[in-house]
């Protein structure tokens, strides 16, 4: 068992309507992780850990959109329903919401990119980071890799993430890459009673 501590950070990555079935960039079965994610959030909340929710939060002319030279359909456009958190996601009152990818000319897959997250964690004495959410092969991966670069002890909860899988094994490769960089891939049962 791993017990959450006040010096743990939990990053809930991009659990938004557009990344779930029915959305414009739906992760297959993306909504199926929400129950386990909610239980993890409640555990972290009880322990007084630092809970962060990232949001992909793009202007309508974002460079990642096909019409502007990118590879993705429009998704998570600021203030549209698709950018909202999934309605089933538990939002802790103590949670911190961080928006990323807000500038038309810059991509930001990682929750640390342009959000001040490293400073927030430093101020709160965070030394371990747990990552859950969407999508394993993009924003979860880059968030975990950045956490490792900043030298946090980094955990990805394998059954609390889900990938886009443009190629079928992209999520597996992402988790392997995180392990190769020194990250730990765990199961929710190690966190939950
Ligand atoms: C994401 C593709 C484009 C993600 C964001 O949250 O993983 N993927 N923008
Ligand atoms: Zn995006």
Q: What is the mean pLDDT of each run of 10 residues along the chain (193 residues)?
A: 98 98 97 98 98 98 98 98 98 98 97 98 98 98 98 98 96 98 98 93
Q: What is the DSSP letter of 18?
A: G
Index of the ligand 1 atom closest to the CA of residue 138: 7
Mean pLDDT of the chain: 98
pLDDT at residue 132 in the model: 98
| 146 given a catalytic annotation | no
User: Which DSSP helix (H) or strand (E) runs through 160?
Assistant: strand 153-162
Q: What is the DSSP letter of 114?
A: T
* Spacing, Cα 142 to ligand 1 middle (Å): 10
Lookup: tokens for 114: 């342009």
Q: Is 56 in the pocket of ligand 1 (CB under 6 A)?
A: yes
pLDDT at residue 84 in the model: 98
Active-site option among 100, 141, 146, 162: 100
Q: What is the DSSP letter of 80?
A: S
pLDDT at residue 58 in the model: 98
pLDDT at residue 21 in the model: 98
CB 138 within 8 A of CB 164: yes
Index of the ligand 1 atom closest to the CA of residue 14: 6
Q: Classify 40 as helix, strand or coil.
A: helix
CB 177 within 8 A of CB 144: no
pLDDT at residue 193 in the model: 83
* Spacing, Cα 2 to ligand 2 middle (Å): 32
pLDDT at residue 47 in the model: 98
Lookup: tokens for 162: 């889900």
* Spacing, Cα 193 to ligand 1 middle (Å): 31
Q: Is 65 in the pocket of ligand 1 (CB under 6 A)?
A: no
Q: Is 31 in the pocket of ligand 1 (CB under 6 A)?
A: no
């Amino acid at each position: 068992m791993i017990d959450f501590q006040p010096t743990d950070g939990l990053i809930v990555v991009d659990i938004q309507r557009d990344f779930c079935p029915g959305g414009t960039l739906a992760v297959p079965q993306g909504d199926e992780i929400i129950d386990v994610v909610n239980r993890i959030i409640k555990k972290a909340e009880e322990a007084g850990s630092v809970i962060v929710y990232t949001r992909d939060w793009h202007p309508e002319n974002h460079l990642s959109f096909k019409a502007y030279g990118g590879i993705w359909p429009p998704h998570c456009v600021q203030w549209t329903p698709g950018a909202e958190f999934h309605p089933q996601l538990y939002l802790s009152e103590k949670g911190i919401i961080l928006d990323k990818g807000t500038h038309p000319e810059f991509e930001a897959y990682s929750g640390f990119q342009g959000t001040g997250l490293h400073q927030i964690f430093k101020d709160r004495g965070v030394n371990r980071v747990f990552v859950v959410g969407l999508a394993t092969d993009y924003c979860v991966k880059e968030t975990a890799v950045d956490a490792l670069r900043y030298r946090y002890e980094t955990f990805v909860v394998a059954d609390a993430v889900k990938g886009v899988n443009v190629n079928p094994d992209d999520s597996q490769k992402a988790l392997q890459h995180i392990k190769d960089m020194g990250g730990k891939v765990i199961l929710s049962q190690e966190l939950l009673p």
